[in-house]
Amino acid sequence: MDKALEKIRHSTSHVLAIAVKELFPKAKLGIGPAIDSGFYYDFDNLTITQENLKKIEKKMKEIIKRNISFKKIKISKAKAKTLLKNEPYKLELLEDLKDKTISFYESGNFQDLCKGPHISSTKNLKHFKLLSVAGAYWKGDSKNKMLTRIYGTAFIKEKELKKFLIQREEAEARNHIRLGKDLGIFTINKLVGKGLPIWLPKGNVIKEEIEKFAKEKEDQAGFQRVTTPHLAKKELFTTSGHLPYYEESMYPSMKMDDGTYYLRAMNCPHHHLIYKHKLRSYRDLPLRLAEYGTCYRNELSGTLAGLLRVRMLSMNDAHTYCTKDQIEKEFSDVIKMIQDYYKVFGFENYWFRLSKGDTKNKKKYVNDPKNWKSTEETLRKVLKKLKVKFTEAEDEASFYGPKVDIQFTSVSGREESMSTIQLDFAAKERFGLQYQDKNGEMNKEVFVIHRAPLSTHERFIAFLIEHYAGKFPVWLAPTQVRILSLTDRNKKYVEKLQKDFKKLNLRVDVDIRSESMSKKVRDAQTELIPITITIGDKEQKAKTLAIRTIDGKIKFGVKNKDFLKKITQSIEQRKDANY
RNA sequence: GCCUCGGUAGCUUAGUUGGUAGAGCACUACAUUGGUAAUGUAGAGGUCCUGGAUUCGACUUCCAGCCGAGGCUCCA
């Protein structure tokens, strides 16, 4: 973030704190930093409603008018303690500081433990807005008390603030929960449960188109498809290590007459058994197994959000079993495949993240420092070789090895992982994966690459809805074409056209209601149908079409044959054309 | 799970000293037969999220629960 902007935002958060302390003297101060989207300040002992938020905003404007200066002062730790005697959270922060002199900022009567930086005076704060109230754990730890967090934003120029607020509104219009409901893509029913979306006919079309695309692409890349059960005996997951590393994220066990079963949270253990079902030769490697697998994860109910966080995940999953020498190429091929996928969907705003483990944390990660080091180095090398931009994150790996995640910012501004490629050096020992090498000897160095380039159906479609704002390209659109009759005389011909189109597997419906044409056009546009064709007496006689695309462009007198050729071609290529 | 806010027809919503509810869209019927974003008229549609408390009487007040949105921890 720009330094000047950071100063403005951080200073605005101080003004917020002053305002809250004046209106609600009993409130206790937490922290108030600048963040990407603005700033926040945490308070204890404070209950805020939307009405209160307006009041606080008004107070802030009043404080700014007072033209208070921000003065940095340095004081001793002892003096700081007396100054903060009524602020328990600030005192706790003070205790953690090792400095001898403590940096404070003074603005009028308000003094705050703070290392800055700040602007010189409140008069320079003009363009800010309080946005929302939320709960947040003290120091980000769920064992601590929950404080009240007030979010706001501030900018240097008024224009920037306005732009930010308009963008927020536009993002809300693209929200996948809203559009998913309006467009009939999915629904969530409380009798089924949270985080368990029901795919409606239109959503299912999108789901199947993506699946078809993935199958084609992965067939070409040498993946073989398999189908495995959604649950398995406890022993499978103790072998894999999901119990106990992953137990909290799994559904509770089910006792049956012949043992204890778990719903799976991952597809890999099942795939490892396919690897093992016969003796493998070096000629079999790399072996690539793919499945649209279904997994179940016990996410906390409060985290479930539309399709972005669910409890049943439909995963475009696959596992590549390879030798150490093959890792680089296989891993790199997967990244290239992901880039190809993203190109078709037109994704641009994403970045790679090398997610590393923490060798000190033996509860979370398998204890094998040597392998952690070497595999992380391999992944870094691959990323560098491909010349992609990437960040590195500590403590984000899987328990069995490091991964490369591909990160997106959702329309609502939240960072989410979309695709993931994981390197697994633990499975070979746990499952005894091996192959017979050229000399007829058994080699136990089998590495596994786990990958989900298209995320889960759930999250991926949520992203697609927001990415396209509901206006899907023709190849993905649930209804590709709608044919309208201009008068009742054209009804029969419209229905005949529909049959012709259907023979080419086009998803086409008709609107032959006795409504006005502009009404029917409006309905088709609101439903975000990419192509609307109108048939009146002229078209019927001349065997032509009047074609309207979703952008409002109209072409008259297009020959039926020409249109059908164009649209089938564009669907095959998964690329919209000028129809 | 925790914090804050919310829940009125399929959807969007109006409804203050507490007297069991209106509207627009969608739906159905009839009329209308049109040239690229709303033709007209009529009709049907409600356990005001659920349960309890207060009250002669609760959509409205209070309590509990369920569901939703945003946020925190977590995460594909």
Mean pLDDT, residues A124-138 = 85
CB A447 within 8 A of CB A322: yes
pLDDT in tens, A554-570: 999 999 999 999 999 99
Answer whether residue A497 is part of any domain. Answer: yes
- Backbone phi, psi, residue A457, to 5°: -55, -40
Instruction: Tell how strand A259-263 and strand A254-256 pair up.
Output: antiparallel
Spatial separation of the C-alpha atoms in residues A462 and A449, rounded to whole Å: 26
Q: What percent of chain A has pLDDT over 90?
A: 54
User: Does the C-beta of A132 come within 7 A of strand B?
Assistant: yes
- Amino acid, res. A170: E
Chain B nucleotides close to protein (CB under 7 A) are: 1-6, 11, 26, 31-39, 66-76
- Residue A489 and residue A464 share a domain: no
- Backbone phi, psi, residue A11, to 5°: -65, -40
- Is residue A1 over pLDDT 70? no
- Residue A441 and residue A532 share a domain: no
- Is residue A381 over pLDDT 80? yes
User: Does the C-beta of A486 come within 7 A of strand B?
Assistant: yes
Strand B, CB < 7 A, residues 415-434 of A? 415-420
CB A59 within 8 A of CB A23: yes
User: Does the C-beta of A26 come within 7 A of strand B?
Assistant: no
Q: How many domains does chain A have?
A: 3
Measured CA to C1', the nucleotide nearest A47 is B4
Q: Could you tell me the pTM of the whole model? A: 0.89
- Is residue A147 over pLDDT 70? yes
Collect all residues with Cβ–Cβ distance below 8 Å to A296 and sequence separation of at least 6.
A230, A250, A251, A263, A264, A265, A311, A312, A313
Spatial separation of the C-alpha atoms in residues A245 and A361, rounded to whole Å: 12
Domain boundary among A468, A495, A515: A468
- Is residue A121 over pLDDT 90? no
Domain boundary among A436, A468, A500: A468
Strand B, CB < 7 A, residues 497-556 of A? 514-519, 521-523, 525-526, 532, 534, 536-539, 546, 548, 552, 554, 556
- Residue A118 and residue A71 share a domain: yes
Provide ipTM, 2 decimals. 0.87
- Give the Å distances, CA to CA, from A364 to A4, A73, A142, A251: 40, 44, 18, 19
Q: Please report the pLDDT score of residue A562 as a whole number.
A: 96
CA of A397 to C1' of B76 (A): 13
pLDDT in tens, A455-498: 999 999 999 998 999 999 999 999 999 999 999 999 999 999 99
pLDDT in tens, A294-304: 999 988 888 88
**In terms of pLDDT, which residue wins out, A123 or A20?**
A20
Residue A390, helix vs strand vs coil: strand
Residue A200, helix vs strand vs coil: coil
Q: What is the mean pLDDT of chain A?
A: 90
Q: Please report the pLDDT score of residue A517 as a whole number.
A: 93
Spatial separation of the C-alpha atoms in residues A433 and A422, rounded to whole Å: 17
Q: Please report the pLDDT score of residue A571 as a whole number.
A: 97
User: The domain that contains A461 carries what CATH number?
Assistant: 3.30.930.10
Taking every pair of Cα atoms in chain A, the longest distance, rounded to a whole number of angstroms, is: 94
Answer whether residue A253 is part of any domain. Answer: no
User: Does the C-beta of A172 come within 7 A of strand B?
Assistant: no
- Residue A515 and residue A455 share a domain: no
Residue-range definition of the domain harbouring residue A540: 481-573
Q: Please report the pLDDT score of residue A134 as a whole number.
A: 83
CA of A558 to C1' of B76 (A): 45
